[in-house]
Structures are given as C-alpha cells and as structure tokens.
Amino acid sequence: MIEAENLSKRYGAKVAVNGVSFRVEPGTVTGFLGPNGAGKSTTMRMIVGLDSPTSGRVTVNGKPYGEHRAPCTRSARCWRPRPSTPVAAPATTCAPSPPPTGWGRSGSTRSSR
C-alpha cells in the first residue's frame, strides 16, 4: 500500500505540491492525472525518496520507500521518468533506460535508396 499524508513540497517561494493525501491499496489500478506543472512528477519523486517532502509523509507498506531492503530489485520494472523529462539524473533512477528504437543509420539509408 502507498499512503501519502498531507504531502507538500516547496522550492523557495514556489509550491510544487500542496497538502496531497491519498491511499493506494495493493492490487488496484490507480491513475495519477493532472495538467503540466501540477506536481505529479514531484509527488512520485517523494514517494520513491528522490526528493524529500517539505512537510507530510509518504510510506510504502508502512515505511518510507528507502527503508525497504533493495526496493528496486523486487520487481522487473521501477518508476523512472521518461527520457524527455529532466526530473532526475540518470544515476538516480532505479533501472536503466530502455534501448533506443528505430532503424539506425544503415536501415534509414537503405530505405531511402
């Protein structure tokens, strides 16, 4: 279970997340929607310990994510931002980025001839 209680994050005078509370039960499918700049990525970063909340707390199965033993090795996929989203340095994500896709230079040249 993921539980957030009155979670807030400020960057100086800028409020990124303001008093968010929610509970996600195991086995449920949960959407996390909002417009650009609504604090979705910041909230996810706080859940997995990449950012500390200014106030409030978030737990995964009753304790902070970072206190779990080897949290990223228990599943094949971990949360990571899309490559186009500069919210975390590559060294701070918990899984390598997927390999690039596409034809590559040779396939592209062949198809254009």
Question: What are the residue ranges spanned by the domains of the chain?
Answer: 2-112
Handedness of CA 107, 111, 112, 113 (dihedral sign): positive
Mean pLDDT of the residues in the chain = 78
The pLDDT assigned to 81 comes to 53
The pLDDT assigned to 33 comes to 93
Is the Cβ–Cβ distance between 7 and 21 less than 8 Å? yes
Q: What would the pLDDT profile of 25-69 be if each residue is shown by its tens digit? A: 999 998 989 999 999 999 999 998 889 999 999 999 999 888 887
What is the pTM assigned to this prediction?
A: 0.61
Q: Which residues of 7-45 are buried (b: 16+ CB within 10 A; e: fewer)?
A: bbbeeeeeebbeebeeeeeeeeeeeeeeeeeebebbbbb
The pLDDT assigned to 74 comes to 46
Q: How confident is the model at residue 70 (pLDDT cuts 50, 70, 90)?
A: low
Distance in angstroms (rounded) separating the CA atoms of residues 50 and 52: 7
Distance in angstroms (rounded) separating the CA atoms of residues 11 and 87: 14
The pLDDT assigned to 107 comes to 55
